[in-house]
Homo-oligomer: A and B are copies of this chain.
Amino acid sequence: MFSKSCEYGMRAVIYVAKQTSLGNKTSVKEIASATNSPEAFTGKILQKLTKNNIIDSIKGPYGGFLIYEEKTKTIKLSQIVEIIDGDKIYTGCGLGLKECNAKNPCPIHDKFIDIRSSLKSMLETTTVYDLLKSETGEDKILQLKR
């Protein structure tokens, strides 16, 4: 569904948010290890997310990454996906035609846009904050490694 880069990115943001909520800044090394992602590559992705103002970073000793809780309420999964994977998943044709166009639909258009819309809507209505909150109770673990 998503590229590896995007998966690493989403896992990283969730982990950073969790750590910030616990009062910790966290390093590339720690993020990569906690999310089971390659370290240097994760660094590149964090760079991109920082440039795009999803997370914040602080250089130097006692530095690291963080994202304030208030901000987690405004960051939607759709933003992370779009920054890393672009908007193909929201606008692209299921058969890979250059443009998806209801006026000139491909054979799977009607069925495909239902799915595509649900996905878009799910990503747009899910904030990082939502993911930190347990849905079933207080102690659901944030599972990011396996």
Contacts and interface: CB of A to CB of B under 8 A. Distances in A.
Nearest to A145: B97
Interface residues of A, number: 43
Given A8-B96, A114-B122, 8 more contacts: A1-B1, A1-B92, A105-B143, A106-B146, A107-B131, A111-B126, A112-B122, A114-B118
Interface string A53-94: 000000000000000000000000100000000000100111
Interface in A3-40: 4, 7-8, 10-11, 14, 36
Interface-centre pick from A11, A114, A145 (highest chain B CB count, 10 A): A11
Contacts of A89: 1
